[in-house]
Amino acid sequence: GAVVSQHPSWVICKSGTSVKIECRSLDFQATTMFWYRQFPKQSLMLMATSNEGSKATYEQGVEKDKFLINHASLTLSTLTVTSAHPEDSSFYICSAKTGTSGLREQYFGPGTRLTVT
């Protein structure tokens, strides 16, 4: 089946620094990738939608200058958390979609645990 990977699986950074999270579709080309954030004991919250070669679309309330998304190829999207603060500590999950249709065709990565100290 389709596999999505994320790197790193966990990261600790100091307040004020930036951290980059990679999301890769390993065996398929992803026309669209999504980034979610999940706080402890809460549901996933969609942050942004990323289409290859175009600017990401951010959900209301998500700061695009703080959460930089780059979807440079059909197999890679990156999320950079700039000037991270402790409140940015969360579990970040990406998903990738094949083709142009299908809820079924969205595959999730294993997630990245970010801790800002």
Query: Which of the ranges 14-22, 40-48, 68-76, 81-89 carries the binding residues for other proteins, by CB under 8 A?
Result: 40-48
Q: How far is the CB of 114 from other proteins (least distance, A)?
A: 12
CA 96, CA 102: separation in Å to the nearest integer?
Answer: 12
Query: Which of the ranges 13-21, 66-74, 78-86, 99-107 carries the binding residues for other proteins, by CB under 8 A?
Result: 99-107
Using CB under 8 A as the binding rule, the residues of this chain from 8 to 37 that contact other proteins are 32, 34, 36
Cβ atoms of residues 70 and 86 within 8 Å = no
Cβ atoms of residues 97 and 35 within 8 Å = no
Q: How far is the CB of 7 from other proteins (least distance, A)?
A: 13
Q: How far is the CB of 16 from other proteins (least distance, A)?
A: 26
Tokens of 75: 């197999």
CA 107, CA 65: separation in Å to the nearest integer?
Answer: 26
Q: Which is nearer to other proteins, 9 or 18 (CB)?
A: 9
Cβ atoms of residues 66 and 81 within 8 Å = yes
